[in-house]
Structure 1
Amino acid sequence: MAISAVLLAYKEAENLRILLPKIKQQLENTGEEHEIIIIDTMRPLDNTPDVCKEFGAKYVNQRLPNFGGAFITGIQEAQFDKFLIMDSDGSHNPVYIRDIYKKFIKGADVIIGSRYVKGGKTNDSKTSIVMSHILNFVFRIITGIKAKDISTDFRMYDTKQLKAVELTCKNYDILQEVLLKMKINNRKLVVKETPIVFEKRLYGESKRQLFKFILGYIKTLFMLIGVRINAGINKNVKK
Protein backbone atom coordinates (compact mmCIF):
# COMPACT_ATOMS: atom_id res chain seq x y z
CA MET A 1 0.00 0.00 0.00
CA ALA A 2 1.61 3.23 -1.15
CA ILE A 3 1.00 6.59 -2.84
CA SER A 4 2.21 8.00 -6.15
CA ALA A 5 1.90 11.80 -5.96
CA VAL A 6 1.98 13.40 -9.41
CA LEU A 7 2.30 17.10 -10.27
CA LEU A 8 2.15 18.42 -13.83
CA ALA A 9 4.54 21.34 -14.29
CA TYR A 10 4.95 24.07 -16.89
CA LYS A 11 7.59 26.55 -15.77
CA GLU A 12 6.65 26.07 -12.09
CA ALA A 13 10.13 25.81 -10.50
CA GLU A 14 9.51 28.70 -8.06
CA ASN A 15 6.26 27.15 -6.88
CA LEU A 16 7.66 23.63 -6.65
CA ARG A 17 10.44 24.86 -4.38
CA ILE A 18 7.75 25.89 -1.88
CA LEU A 19 5.33 23.01 -2.46
CA LEU A 20 7.58 19.94 -2.54
CA PRO A 21 8.70 19.99 1.12
CA LYS A 22 5.07 20.53 2.22
CA ILE A 23 3.82 17.69 0.03
CA LYS A 24 6.56 15.40 1.28
CA GLN A 25 5.62 16.14 4.89
CA GLN A 26 1.92 15.42 4.27
CA LEU A 27 2.73 12.16 2.52
CA GLU A 28 4.99 11.09 5.39
CA ASN A 29 2.14 11.78 7.79
CA THR A 30 0.02 9.11 6.06
CA GLY A 31 2.51 6.46 7.16
CA GLU A 32 2.53 4.94 3.67
CA GLU A 33 5.41 4.51 1.29
CA HIS A 34 5.29 7.19 -1.38
CA GLU A 35 6.88 8.72 -4.44
CA ILE A 36 6.61 12.25 -5.84
CA ILE A 37 6.71 12.52 -9.62
CA ILE A 38 7.02 15.82 -11.46
CA ILE A 39 5.89 15.68 -15.09
CA ASP A 40 7.62 18.56 -16.84
CA THR A 41 7.37 19.85 -20.40
CA MET A 42 8.92 17.83 -23.23
CA ARG A 43 12.11 19.79 -22.72
CA PRO A 44 12.97 21.86 -19.62
CA LEU A 45 11.92 25.53 -19.77
CA ASP A 46 13.29 26.48 -16.34
CA ASN A 47 15.26 24.89 -13.50
CA THR A 48 12.55 22.39 -12.53
CA PRO A 49 15.00 19.46 -12.93
CA ASP A 50 17.32 21.02 -10.33
CA VAL A 51 14.45 21.67 -7.90
CA CYS A 52 13.32 18.04 -8.21
CA LYS A 53 16.82 16.80 -7.52
CA GLU A 54 17.11 19.09 -4.48
CA PHE A 55 13.90 17.76 -2.89
CA GLY A 56 14.11 14.13 -3.98
CA ALA A 57 11.26 14.15 -6.50
CA LYS A 58 11.35 12.02 -9.64
CA TYR A 59 11.70 14.20 -12.73
CA VAL A 60 10.03 13.07 -15.98
CA ASN A 61 9.50 14.88 -19.29
CA GLN A 62 6.04 14.39 -20.72
CA ARG A 63 5.94 12.13 -23.77
CA LEU A 64 2.73 13.52 -25.30
CA PRO A 65 1.77 17.20 -25.76
CA ASN A 66 -0.55 19.44 -23.74
CA PHE A 67 -2.17 18.89 -20.33
CA GLY A 68 -3.70 15.59 -21.40
CA GLY A 69 -0.34 14.27 -22.55
CA ALA A 70 1.27 15.21 -19.24
CA PHE A 71 -1.56 13.51 -17.32
CA ILE A 72 -1.20 10.32 -19.35
CA THR A 73 2.57 10.35 -18.79
CA GLY A 74 1.95 10.66 -15.04
CA ILE A 75 -0.37 7.66 -15.09
CA GLN A 76 2.24 5.63 -16.96
CA GLU A 77 4.96 6.54 -14.46
CA ALA A 78 2.97 5.81 -11.27
CA GLN A 79 4.11 2.66 -9.46
CA PHE A 80 1.85 2.54 -6.41
CA ASP A 81 -1.79 1.65 -5.76
CA LYS A 82 -2.98 5.17 -4.89
CA PHE A 83 -2.58 7.94 -7.46
CA LEU A 84 -2.67 11.50 -6.08
CA ILE A 85 -2.63 14.40 -8.54
CA MET A 86 -2.60 18.12 -7.80
CA ASP A 87 -1.66 21.43 -9.39
CA SER A 88 1.94 22.61 -9.18
CA ASP A 89 1.13 26.34 -9.06
CA GLY A 90 0.14 26.50 -5.39
CA SER A 91 -3.62 26.65 -5.97
CA HIS A 92 -3.94 23.25 -4.29
CA ASN A 93 -2.75 23.47 -0.70
CA PRO A 94 -0.90 20.29 0.38
CA VAL A 95 -2.63 20.48 3.77
CA TYR A 96 -5.70 18.84 2.16
CA ILE A 97 -3.76 15.71 1.20
CA ARG A 98 -4.57 14.32 4.66
CA ASP A 99 -8.34 14.72 4.19
CA ILE A 100 -8.27 13.28 0.68
CA TYR A 101 -6.22 10.29 1.83
CA LYS A 102 -8.36 9.55 4.90
CA LYS A 103 -11.57 9.62 2.88
CA PHE A 104 -10.06 7.43 0.18
CA ILE A 105 -9.00 4.64 2.52
CA LYS A 106 -12.47 4.57 4.08
CA GLY A 107 -13.81 3.25 0.78
CA ALA A 108 -13.71 5.04 -2.56
CA ASP A 109 -12.35 4.64 -6.06
CA VAL A 110 -11.90 8.38 -6.57
CA ILE A 111 -11.75 11.26 -4.08
CA ILE A 112 -12.09 14.81 -5.37
CA GLY A 113 -10.79 17.84 -3.49
CA SER A 114 -13.90 19.94 -4.08
CA ARG A 115 -14.48 23.69 -4.19
CA TYR A 116 -18.25 23.31 -4.25
CA VAL A 117 -19.22 21.04 -1.37
CA LYS A 118 -19.96 22.44 2.09
CA GLY A 119 -16.76 23.89 3.53
CA GLY A 120 -15.15 24.31 0.11
CA LYS A 121 -14.24 27.65 -1.44
CA THR A 122 -12.57 29.09 -4.53
CA ASN A 123 -10.58 32.29 -4.88
CA ASP A 124 -10.89 32.24 -8.66
CA SER A 125 -12.35 35.15 -10.67
CA LYS A 126 -16.14 35.58 -10.87
CA THR A 127 -16.08 34.79 -14.59
CA SER A 128 -14.18 31.56 -14.00
CA ILE A 129 -16.54 30.57 -11.19
CA VAL A 130 -19.63 31.04 -13.37
CA MET A 131 -18.04 29.08 -16.21
CA SER A 132 -16.99 26.35 -13.80
CA HIS A 133 -20.51 25.91 -12.42
CA ILE A 134 -21.97 25.69 -15.94
CA LEU A 135 -19.28 23.23 -16.96
CA ASN A 136 -19.86 21.03 -13.93
CA PHE A 137 -23.63 21.04 -14.41
CA VAL A 138 -23.37 19.95 -18.04
CA PHE A 139 -20.75 17.27 -17.47
CA ARG A 140 -22.57 15.86 -14.43
CA ILE A 141 -25.43 15.06 -16.79
CA ILE A 142 -23.19 13.62 -19.51
CA THR A 143 -20.97 11.49 -17.26
CA GLY A 144 -23.57 10.49 -14.70
CA ILE A 145 -21.06 11.41 -11.99
CA LYS A 146 -22.98 13.17 -9.21
CA ALA A 147 -20.01 14.98 -7.69
CA LYS A 148 -20.31 18.78 -7.59
CA ASP A 149 -16.77 19.53 -8.74
CA ILE A 150 -15.64 17.35 -11.65
CA SER A 151 -13.51 20.02 -13.31
CA THR A 152 -10.72 20.12 -10.73
CA ASP A 153 -7.68 17.84 -10.76
CA PHE A 154 -6.94 17.67 -7.03
CA ARG A 155 -7.84 13.99 -6.78
CA MET A 156 -6.83 10.57 -5.53
CA TYR A 157 -7.58 7.57 -7.76
CA ASP A 158 -7.32 3.82 -7.50
CA THR A 159 -4.26 3.42 -9.73
CA LYS A 160 -5.23 0.03 -11.15
CA GLN A 161 -8.57 1.35 -12.40
CA LEU A 162 -6.93 4.52 -13.68
CA LYS A 163 -4.37 2.61 -15.71
CA ALA A 164 -7.13 0.45 -17.23
CA VAL A 165 -8.77 3.32 -19.17
CA GLU A 166 -7.67 4.55 -22.59
CA LEU A 167 -7.63 8.34 -22.63
CA THR A 168 -7.72 10.47 -25.78
CA CYS A 169 -8.48 14.06 -24.70
CA LYS A 170 -5.57 16.45 -25.03
CA ASN A 171 -6.49 19.24 -22.63
CA TYR A 172 -8.29 19.78 -19.30
CA ASP A 173 -11.32 17.90 -20.62
CA ILE A 174 -9.40 14.71 -19.86
CA LEU A 175 -10.56 15.24 -16.25
CA GLN A 176 -14.15 14.46 -17.26
CA GLU A 177 -13.16 11.78 -19.76
CA VAL A 178 -11.30 9.78 -17.13
CA LEU A 179 -14.27 9.73 -14.74
CA LEU A 180 -16.71 8.63 -17.44
CA LYS A 181 -14.44 5.87 -18.71
CA MET A 182 -13.68 4.63 -15.21
CA LYS A 183 -17.43 4.46 -14.58
CA ILE A 184 -17.99 2.54 -17.82
CA ASN A 185 -15.39 0.00 -16.68
CA ASN A 186 -16.81 -0.12 -13.15
CA ARG A 187 -20.55 0.50 -12.91
CA LYS A 188 -20.25 0.64 -9.12
CA LEU A 189 -17.52 3.29 -9.19
CA VAL A 190 -17.49 5.21 -5.91
CA VAL A 191 -16.65 8.91 -6.31
CA LYS A 192 -16.62 11.09 -3.18
CA GLU A 193 -15.65 14.67 -2.40
CA THR A 194 -13.92 16.47 0.43
CA PRO A 195 -13.81 20.28 0.78
CA ILE A 196 -10.77 22.35 -0.19
CA VAL A 197 -10.02 26.04 -0.62
CA PHE A 198 -8.78 26.76 -4.14
CA GLU A 199 -6.07 29.41 -3.79
CA LYS A 200 -4.56 31.87 -6.23
CA ARG A 201 -1.31 30.66 -7.80
CA LEU A 202 1.87 31.53 -5.90
CA TYR A 203 4.14 32.71 -8.75
CA GLY A 204 3.88 33.02 -12.51
CA GLU A 205 0.89 33.41 -14.81
CA SER A 206 -1.92 31.03 -15.68
CA LYS A 207 -1.29 28.91 -18.78
CA ARG A 208 -4.99 28.49 -19.65
CA GLN A 209 -6.25 30.13 -22.85
CA LEU A 210 -9.96 30.94 -22.45
CA PHE A 211 -11.10 30.59 -26.09
CA LYS A 212 -9.15 27.38 -26.64
CA PHE A 213 -10.45 26.10 -23.30
CA ILE A 214 -14.11 26.69 -24.26
CA LEU A 215 -13.73 25.30 -27.79
CA GLY A 216 -12.07 22.16 -26.48
CA TYR A 217 -14.88 21.48 -24.01
CA ILE A 218 -17.55 21.91 -26.69
CA LYS A 219 -15.86 19.24 -28.80
CA THR A 220 -15.43 16.99 -25.79
CA LEU A 221 -19.08 17.40 -24.88
CA PHE A 222 -20.16 15.60 -28.05
CA MET A 223 -17.34 13.08 -27.88
CA LEU A 224 -18.28 11.95 -24.37
CA ILE A 225 -21.96 11.72 -25.30
CA GLY A 226 -20.89 9.33 -28.05
CA VAL A 227 -18.69 7.34 -25.66
CA ARG A 228 -21.55 6.92 -23.19
CA ILE A 229 -24.08 5.96 -25.86
CA ASN A 230 -21.66 3.46 -27.36
CA ALA A 231 -20.96 1.95 -23.94
CA GLY A 232 -24.70 1.51 -23.42
CA ILE A 233 -25.08 -0.18 -26.81
CA ASN A 234 -22.15 -2.50 -26.12
CA LYS A 235 -23.65 -3.42 -22.75
CA ASN A 236 -26.95 -4.35 -24.39
CA VAL A 237 -25.19 -6.41 -27.06
CA LYS A 238 -23.34 -8.41 -24.40
CA LYS A 239 -26.64 -9.23 -22.72
Structure 2
Amino acid sequence: MELTILLPTLNEAGNVSSLIAEAKDVVSPIVPQFEILVIDGGSRDGTVEEARRAGARVRTVEGLSYGRSLREGFSQAEGRLILTLDADLSHPIRIFPLMWEAMRGSGAQMVIASRYVAGGRVERPFFRDLLSRTLNKISSSLLDIPLNDLSSGFRLYEKKALDSVTTRAVNFDIQEELITQFANRGYKIMEVPGAYGPRHEGMSKANVLLFAFSYLKTLSRMWWQRRTKI
Protein backbone atom coordinates (compact mmCIF):
# COMPACT_ATOMS: atom_id res chain seq x y z
CA MET A 1 0.00 0.00 0.00
CA GLU A 2 1.26 3.44 -0.91
CA LEU A 3 -0.18 5.68 1.81
CA THR A 4 -1.64 5.62 5.32
CA ILE A 5 -3.55 8.67 6.53
CA LEU A 6 -3.09 8.59 10.31
CA LEU A 7 -5.62 10.38 12.52
CA PRO A 8 -5.20 10.38 16.31
CA THR A 9 -8.62 11.06 17.85
CA LEU A 10 -10.26 11.79 21.18
CA ASN A 11 -13.92 12.83 21.11
CA GLU A 12 -13.97 14.07 17.51
CA ALA A 13 -17.38 12.69 16.47
CA GLY A 14 -18.39 16.06 15.06
CA ASN A 15 -15.37 16.24 12.76
CA VAL A 16 -13.99 12.83 11.87
CA SER A 17 -16.52 11.70 9.26
CA SER A 18 -16.27 15.01 7.38
CA LEU A 19 -12.48 14.80 7.39
CA ILE A 20 -12.47 11.21 6.16
CA ALA A 21 -14.87 12.05 3.33
CA GLU A 22 -12.79 15.05 2.28
CA ALA A 23 -9.58 13.03 2.52
CA LYS A 24 -10.98 10.42 0.15
CA ASP A 25 -11.97 13.11 -2.36
CA VAL A 26 -8.55 14.79 -2.26
CA VAL A 27 -6.29 11.74 -2.07
CA SER A 28 -7.94 9.13 -4.29
CA PRO A 29 -7.23 10.91 -7.63
CA ILE A 30 -3.52 11.01 -6.72
CA VAL A 31 -2.96 7.81 -4.73
CA PRO A 32 -5.14 4.87 -5.81
CA GLN A 33 -4.14 2.65 -2.89
CA PHE A 34 -4.38 4.21 0.57
CA GLU A 35 -5.92 3.58 3.96
CA ILE A 36 -7.27 5.82 6.68
CA LEU A 37 -6.16 4.70 10.13
CA VAL A 38 -7.76 6.18 13.25
CA ILE A 39 -6.00 5.70 16.58
CA ASP A 40 -8.56 6.55 19.25
CA GLY A 41 -7.62 7.27 22.85
CA GLY A 42 -10.96 6.28 24.39
CA SER A 43 -13.62 8.58 22.96
CA ARG A 44 -17.03 8.68 24.62
CA ASP A 45 -18.93 10.61 21.94
CA GLY A 46 -19.24 8.08 19.12
CA THR A 47 -16.00 8.97 17.34
CA VAL A 48 -15.08 5.32 16.79
CA GLU A 49 -18.46 4.47 15.30
CA GLU A 50 -18.43 7.55 13.05
CA ALA A 51 -14.93 6.74 11.80
CA ARG A 52 -15.80 3.13 11.00
CA ARG A 53 -18.97 4.15 9.19
CA ALA A 54 -16.91 6.57 7.11
CA GLY A 55 -14.57 3.75 6.07
CA ALA A 56 -11.57 4.10 8.38
CA ARG A 57 -9.68 1.30 10.06
CA VAL A 58 -9.89 2.04 13.79
CA ARG A 59 -7.72 0.93 16.68
CA THR A 60 -8.78 1.96 20.18
CA VAL A 61 -6.29 2.09 23.05
CA GLU A 62 -7.74 3.65 26.19
CA GLY A 63 -5.91 6.65 27.62
CA LEU A 64 -3.38 7.21 24.84
CA SER A 65 -1.72 10.63 24.77
CA TYR A 66 -0.92 12.32 21.47
CA GLY A 67 2.68 11.12 21.33
CA ARG A 68 1.74 7.55 22.16
CA SER A 69 -1.10 7.67 19.62
CA LEU A 70 1.35 8.60 16.88
CA ARG A 71 3.73 5.80 17.86
CA GLU A 72 0.86 3.30 17.85
CA GLY A 73 -0.23 4.56 14.45
CA PHE A 74 3.26 4.37 12.99
CA SER A 75 3.53 0.74 14.08
CA GLN A 76 0.09 -0.18 12.71
CA ALA A 77 0.33 1.70 9.39
CA GLU A 78 0.53 -0.39 6.22
CA GLY A 79 1.43 2.42 3.83
CA ARG A 80 4.88 3.13 2.42
CA LEU A 81 4.22 6.78 3.32
CA ILE A 82 2.32 8.12 6.33
CA LEU A 83 0.36 11.39 6.39
CA THR A 84 -0.42 12.80 9.84
CA LEU A 85 -2.88 15.60 10.55
CA ASP A 86 -5.28 16.71 13.26
CA ALA A 87 -8.75 15.19 13.19
CA ASP A 88 -10.50 18.46 14.10
CA LEU A 89 -10.29 19.89 10.55
CA SER A 90 -7.73 22.51 11.58
CA HIS A 91 -5.32 21.14 8.95
CA PRO A 92 -6.74 21.53 5.41
CA ILE A 93 -6.32 18.18 3.64
CA ARG A 94 -6.40 20.02 0.30
CA ILE A 95 -2.69 20.81 0.86
CA PHE A 96 -1.83 17.11 0.55
CA PRO A 97 -1.12 17.20 -3.23
CA LEU A 98 1.58 19.83 -2.65
CA MET A 99 3.17 17.66 0.04
CA TRP A 100 2.96 14.58 -2.17
CA GLU A 101 4.67 16.28 -5.10
CA ALA A 102 7.35 17.76 -2.83
CA MET A 103 8.25 14.32 -1.49
CA ARG A 104 8.24 12.67 -4.91
CA GLY A 105 10.31 15.40 -6.49
CA SER A 106 12.91 15.83 -3.75
CA GLY A 107 13.53 12.39 -2.29
CA ALA A 108 12.79 13.79 1.18
CA GLN A 109 11.96 11.51 4.08
CA MET A 110 9.70 14.11 5.72
CA VAL A 111 7.61 16.94 4.29
CA ILE A 112 6.12 19.48 6.71
CA ALA A 113 3.11 21.66 5.90
CA SER A 114 4.65 24.72 7.53
CA ARG A 115 2.65 27.60 8.94
CA TYR A 116 5.67 29.89 9.04
CA VAL A 117 7.10 29.85 5.53
CA ALA A 118 6.06 32.24 2.77
CA GLY A 119 2.51 31.35 1.81
CA GLY A 120 1.75 29.71 5.16
CA ARG A 121 -1.28 30.79 7.16
CA VAL A 122 -2.42 30.67 10.80
CA GLU A 123 -5.82 31.47 12.30
CA ARG A 124 -5.73 31.31 16.09
CA PRO A 125 -5.48 33.60 19.15
CA PHE A 126 -2.52 35.99 19.21
CA PHE A 127 -0.94 34.60 22.39
CA ARG A 128 -0.92 31.00 21.15
CA ASP A 129 0.50 32.05 17.81
CA LEU A 130 3.22 34.17 19.45
CA LEU A 131 4.14 31.30 21.80
CA SER A 132 4.37 28.85 18.90
CA ARG A 133 6.49 31.13 16.74
CA THR A 134 8.83 31.91 19.65
CA LEU A 135 9.32 28.26 20.60
CA ASN A 136 9.97 27.34 16.99
CA LYS A 137 12.63 30.02 16.58
CA ILE A 138 14.33 28.94 19.81
CA SER A 139 14.23 25.29 18.79
CA SER A 140 15.58 25.89 15.31
CA SER A 141 18.48 27.93 16.70
CA LEU A 142 19.41 25.64 19.59
CA LEU A 143 19.12 22.44 17.58
CA ASP A 144 20.83 23.92 14.52
CA ILE A 145 18.04 22.67 12.28
CA PRO A 146 17.16 25.27 9.62
CA LEU A 147 13.39 24.82 9.62
CA ASN A 148 10.63 27.33 10.33
CA ASP A 149 7.98 25.06 11.83
CA LEU A 150 9.26 22.23 14.02
CA SER A 151 5.95 21.78 15.85
CA SER A 152 3.53 21.33 12.95
CA GLY A 153 1.75 17.98 13.10
CA PHE A 154 0.70 18.15 9.44
CA ARG A 155 3.41 15.98 7.89
CA LEU A 156 4.15 13.35 5.29
CA TYR A 157 6.70 10.71 6.33
CA GLU A 158 8.53 7.85 4.72
CA LYS A 159 7.62 4.87 6.90
CA LYS A 160 11.01 3.22 6.38
CA ALA A 161 12.65 6.30 7.92
CA LEU A 162 10.16 6.37 10.80
CA ASP A 163 10.90 2.74 11.59
CA SER A 164 14.58 3.61 12.02
CA VAL A 165 14.08 6.18 14.80
CA THR A 166 13.10 5.90 18.45
CA THR A 167 10.99 8.45 20.32
CA ARG A 168 9.76 8.68 23.89
CA ALA A 169 7.94 12.03 24.05
CA VAL A 170 4.43 11.67 25.46
CA ASN A 171 2.66 14.79 24.25
CA PHE A 172 2.82 17.14 21.26
CA ASP A 173 6.56 17.55 21.79
CA ILE A 174 6.99 14.35 19.81
CA GLN A 175 7.05 16.63 16.76
CA GLU A 176 10.41 18.21 17.60
CA GLU A 177 11.74 14.83 18.73
CA LEU A 178 10.95 13.27 15.36
CA ILE A 179 12.63 16.14 13.51
CA THR A 180 15.74 15.83 15.68
CA GLN A 181 15.93 12.09 15.09
CA PHE A 182 15.56 12.56 11.34
CA ALA A 183 18.19 15.32 11.28
CA ASN A 184 20.65 13.21 13.27
CA ARG A 185 20.35 10.46 10.67
CA GLY A 186 20.90 12.83 7.78
CA TYR A 187 17.38 12.45 6.41
CA LYS A 188 16.07 15.17 4.14
CA ILE A 189 13.27 17.34 5.57
CA MET A 190 11.31 19.78 3.41
CA GLU A 191 8.76 22.48 4.19
CA VAL A 192 5.87 23.54 1.97
CA PRO A 193 3.34 26.30 2.72
CA GLY A 194 0.73 24.99 5.14
CA ALA A 195 -2.22 26.33 7.08
CA TYR A 196 -3.78 26.02 10.50
CA GLY A 197 -7.31 27.11 11.32
CA PRO A 198 -9.85 26.82 14.13
CA ARG A 199 -11.35 23.42 14.91
CA HIS A 200 -14.83 22.94 13.45
CA GLU A 201 -16.60 21.11 16.29
CA GLY A 202 -15.84 20.16 19.90
CA MET A 203 -13.27 21.33 22.41
CA SER A 204 -9.50 21.45 22.04
CA LYS A 205 -7.54 18.94 24.13
CA ALA A 206 -4.35 21.01 24.02
CA ASN A 207 -3.21 22.64 27.27
CA VAL A 208 -1.03 25.55 26.20
CA LEU A 209 1.05 25.74 29.39
CA LEU A 210 1.51 21.96 29.54
CA PHE A 211 2.52 22.00 25.89
CA ALA A 212 5.11 24.73 26.48
CA PHE A 213 6.56 22.90 29.50
CA SER A 214 6.76 19.57 27.66
CA TYR A 215 8.21 21.27 24.60
CA LEU A 216 10.99 22.98 26.55
CA LYS A 217 11.74 19.82 28.52
CA THR A 218 12.06 17.81 25.32
CA LEU A 219 14.06 20.61 23.72
CA SER A 220 16.78 20.25 26.36
CA ARG A 221 16.94 16.51 25.69
CA MET A 222 17.01 17.07 21.91
CA TRP A 223 19.80 19.65 22.30
CA TRP A 224 21.91 16.98 23.97
CA GLN A 225 21.05 14.47 21.25
CA ARG A 226 22.12 16.94 18.57
CA ARG A 227 25.45 17.47 20.33
CA THR A 228 26.08 13.75 20.75
CA LYS A 229 24.22 12.60 17.58
CA ILE A 230 22.40 9.90 19.53
Instruction: Give the alignment's TM-score, normalised by structure 1.
Output: 0.91
C-alpha deviation, 1:22, in angstroms: 0.4
Q: Match for residue 140 of structure 1? A: 140
Query: 1:67-92: per-residue Cα shift (whole Å, max 9, x none)?
Result: 11111011111111111000001101
Q: Secondary structure at the match of 1:83?
A: strand
Unaligned runs of 5+ in 1: 235-239
Alpha-carbon distance between aligned partners in 2 of 1:69 and 1:31, rounded to the nearest angstrom: 27
What aligned pairs does 1:1-239 form with structure 2 within 5 A after superposition? 2-41=2-41, 43-62=42-61, 65-107=64-106, 108-185=108-185, 187=186, 189-231=187-229
Percent of pairs with identical residues: 26
Unaligned runs of 5+ in 2: none
What amino acid sits opposite 2:210 in the alignment? K
Alpha-carbon distance between aligned partners in 2 of 1:137 and 1:29, rounded to the nearest angstrom: 37
What amino acid sits opposite 1:74 in the alignment? G
Q: Secondary structure at the match of 2:4?
A: strand
Q: Secondary structure at the match of 2:161?
A: helix
| RMSD over equivalenced CA pairs, Å | 1.5
Alpha-carbon distance between aligned partners in 2 of 1:106 and 1:143, rounded to the nearest angstrom: 27
Q: Match for residue 237 of structure 1? A: none
Alpha-carbon distance between aligned partners in 1 of 2:145 and 2:78, rounded to the nearest angstrom: 27
Does the CA-based 8 Å contact 1:39-1:73 persist in structure 2?
yes
C-alpha deviation, 1:97, in angstroms: 1.1
Does the CA-based 8 Å contact 1:64-1:73 persist in structure 2?
no
Does the CA-based 8 Å contact 1:64-1:70 persist in structure 2?
no
Which protein has the bigger helix share? 1
Q: Secondary structure at the match of 2:98?
A: helix
What amino acid sits opposite 2:76 in the alignment? E
Instruction: Give the alignment's TM-score, normalised by structure 2.
Output: 0.94
Does the CA-based 8 Å contact 1:14-1:203 persist in structure 2?
yes
